[in-house]
Amino acid sequence: MNRRQFLPALAAAAAPAYAAGKIKTAFYGTRHSHFGGKWKAVAANASYEIAGVCEPDQAAREKNKTAYKWLSEEEMLGDASIRVIAVEMPPATGLPYARKAIEAGKHVHLEKPPTAELAPFRELIEEARRKRLLVQTGYIWRFHEGFRRAKEAIENGWLGEVYLMRATIHTDINAAGRAELAPYRGGMMFELGSHQIDRMVYLLGRPTEVRSWLKKTSFGKADGLADNTLAVFEYPGAMAVVSTSAKFPGHSPHRGFEVIGTDGVIWMQPVEPGTKMRVSMREARGPYKQGWQEIELPAQQRYVGDFIDLARAVETGTALAYSYDFEMTVHETILRAAQQI
């Protein structure tokens, strides 16, 4: 099965366990905002068995002390039957824990963004590559059907020459969330904009130039968070624009992504639940008719496709849908936009 045939299947319900048996998996941390959704996705997938959770932070354990089977770090890393570790630490703090997992011979699902630095992430990737271990980062739309269709349209030339992409991803975080992100120069572009940058790199590759504006609103100046941010990515003949902010009431329906070409446009807004994709074509091409049309898509579930792909790769000994080199390019591009390299 090639990549194009495989990716659409990932939006389906979790696959049954592979012949080799269930993949014993542990969670390393509970403090990333994606943890609850990841736990549910793994628990619902028949390919996995959850061994338990290791949470180094005592306060976090106390908050959930009866909810999970708790493991010590030694128990988790020393158990040869645990093959996958999902690192669910707060943004940009997960890399040292992922490194421990790789050193212990485990495959890793690593929350985003993994670190605010480039070299340590490169070292992790190269160590995993050397050991033939998998590293999968947790950007939320990697198996979104709308982006797959945008990629298909670009590769087949249905949109003509793609010259512009525009993406928005806003949120409305509280004071605690702001304080968590304020130490990072890139602020919202670093943490939240990373999801859209991941999809931009998927569609267009590595940009030649990156420029960004990391502004603080009057409210943002009190805590130092760059909470009103915009980045422009230059490609030969094309530009991509990503904007993200931290205080947007009713933000979810506004999150959108546009791919604009000389002969066609693909527009997703909202990206989630992602049940509709608008397309405009200068003339009929591929599955699309001339003019504006609305394409119905199944609701796009976060996390499900990621763990289907990870199970497939673990059990078959083959590569993930997204390569080591892709992970490096995404991380480098995020750090460029965040002005952290």
Domains 3-140+304-322 and 145-301 share a fold: no
Mean per-residue pLDDT for 79-108? 98
What would the pLDDT profile of 155-183 be if each residue is shown by its tens digit?
Answer: 999 999 999 999 999 999 999 999 999 99
Mean per-residue pLDDT for 210-217? 98
Residue range 145-301, CATH number: 3.30.360.10
Token code pair at residue 251: 């933000």
Question: What is the per-residue pLDDT for 217?
Answer: 95
Q: Report the C-alpha gap between 138 and 149 in whole angstroms.
A: 21
Strands lying side by side in the sheet with 84-87: 48-54, 23-28, 84-87, 107-110, 135-137
Question: What is the per-residue pLDDT for 36?
Answer: 96
User: What does 75-119 look like in DSSP terms, one character per residue?
Assistant: HHHH-TT--EEEE-PSTT--HHHHHHHHHTT-EEEEPSS--S-SH
pTM (whole model) above 0.95 = no
CA dist 326 → 101, 120, 206 (Å) = 21, 16, 9
Question: What is the per-residue pLDDT for 8?
Answer: 40
Sort 310 into a burial class: Cβ within 10 Å, 0-12 / 13-18 / 19+: buried
What would the pLDDT profile of 16-27 be if each residue is shown by its tens digit?
Answer: 444 458 999 999
> Across the chain, what does the average pLDDT equal?
94
Domain range summary for the chain, segments of one domain joined by +: 3-140+304-322, 145-301
Mean per-residue pLDDT for 302-327? 98
What would the pLDDT profile of 245-298 be if each residue is shown by its tens digit?
Answer: 999 999 999 999 999 999 999 999 999 999 999 999 999 999 999 999 999 999
How open is the CA angle 115-10-199, to the nearest 5 degrees?
A: 40
Mean per-residue pLDDT for 85-93? 97
**pLDDT > 80? residue 233:** yes
Rg of the chain on CA atoms, in Å: 20
- Percent residues over pLDDT 70 in the chain: 94
Token code pair at residue 75: 């128990």
Determine the topology of domain 3-140+304-322 in CATH. Answer: Rossmann fold (3.40.50)
